[in-house]
Every structure is written in C-alpha cells, then in structure tokens.
Amino acid sequence: MRSTGNDEKLIALLRANAREPVASLARKLNLSRTTVQDRLSRLEESGVIAGYSLKLGSEVDRGGISAYVTISVEPRRQIDVAQGVARLPQVETLHTVSGKFDLMAQVKTATAEDMDKLIDRIGQLPGVDEIETAVILSTKVDRR
C-alpha cells in the first residue's frame, strides 16, 4: 500500500497516543471522521498498522535491570545462536547487526545477579565467540 502525507501524519499522531479518538484525529488532520476511519481500516488491513499495544509508565516498569548484549558468532552458526538466544525468556528483542558483532539482544532481569547468570548462559551457547554487555542506566527518549 502506498501511504500518503495524511497517512504519515495519522501514524505520527497514533504513535503519540494510540487511544486518541477518531474524531480528535480527524480535527487535527482537518479531515472528516469517516475519512480517518477509512484510512485507519486500510492501514490495518494492509499491515501498515499491525496492532495497538500498551506502554507502561516508568513508575510501573521500574523494576529490573536492562542491558544490550552484543554477540559475535562463529562462522555459519548465526541461526543456531539466534535460536538459542531467542529461547531465553529474559530476551526482549534480538537483532542482526553490522560491525564487529553479529547479534544484539536487549535483555531484562530482576537483579544484577540474574543479569550475570544470563550473560554467562549466553556466552556458553554453542557458536558464541564473544559477547559484550552494556547495562542501560537511564532512557532519555523512548518513542515506541
């Protein structure tokens, strides 16, 4: 589906507040409510909008320690390592990346001790060559 300028503005408004009423969106876009509802339906049906989700406030989501774990993989082992990492429940996201490392995982554990155990577990997966960990101290911007 080809998106229009209004679609991009609509998506930006929904990123800021996915619960904003259609009537309010229509006023902000200077479009009719029906037009906005039709655009939303088309964006959902085409997969541009895959769903709406809940974002917890920082007061609720304080607990735990988050980190980025970058993983260097032995040649031809990336699929195996990625599957092993993905099976760990503490892994929130897993990406293939360019550069010195092959994979980057964002992980979250309840305690520093749990983080230490998780890092050891990832490092022991067959095919893992090297890992580096960067603990997240604070988040300055989160537009998700």
Give per-residue pLDDT as tens, 95-109.
Answer: 999 999 999 999 999
Tell me, yes or no, whether 74 and 128 share the same domain. yes
Q: Nearest to residue 43, comparing CAs of 33, 51, 53, 31?
A: 51
Mean pLDDT of 64-92: 95
115 found inside a domain: yes
- CA 127 to chain centroid: 25
Q: Where are the beta strands (DSSP E) in the chain?
A: 65-73, 91-96, 103-109, 128-135
Tell me, yes or no, whether 40 and 69 share the same domain. no
As a whole number of angstroms, the distance between CA 6 and CA 52 comes to: 19
Tell me, yes or no, whether 33 and 73 share the same domain. no
Q: Which residues have C-beta within 8 Å of that of residue 123, sequence separation ≥ 6?
A: 131
**pLDDT score, position 66:** 93
> Domain residues for 38?
5-45
Tell me, yes or no, whether 38 and 80 share the same domain. no
Q: Nearest to residue 123, comparing CAs of 103, 108, 137, 109?
A: 103
Tell me, yes or no, whether 35 and 82 share the same domain. no
More confident site: 10 or 142: 10
Q: Does the pLDDT at position 139 exceed 60?
A: yes
Mean pLDDT of 65-70: 96
Count of domains for the chain: 2
**Which residue bears the tokens 């989700």?**
53
Give the model's confidence band at 54: pLDDT under 50 very low, under 70 low, under 90 confident, else very high: confident
Flag whether the pTM goes above 0.85: no
Q: What is the CATH number of the domain that holds 125?
A: 3.30.70.920
Q: What is the CATH number of the domain that holds 20?
A: 1.10.10
3-state secondary structure of 26: helix
24 found inside a domain: yes
Tell me, yes or no, whether 77 and 30 share the same domain. no
50 found inside a domain: no
Q: Does the pLDDT at position 123 exceed 90?
A: yes
**pLDDT score, position 115:** 95
Q: Nearest to residue 104, comparing CAs of 127, 73, 77?
A: 73
Lowest-pLDDT range of 4-13, 24-33, 78-87, 117-126: 4-13
**pLDDT score, position 101:** 97
Tell me, yes or no, whether 83 and 117 share the same domain. yes
Tell me, yes or no, whether 121 and 81 share the same domain. yes
Mean pLDDT of 19-40: 93
**pLDDT score, position 89:** 93
Tell me, yes or no, whether 37 and 99 share the same domain. no
131 found inside a domain: yes
Tell me, yes or no, whether 71 and 119 share the same domain. yes
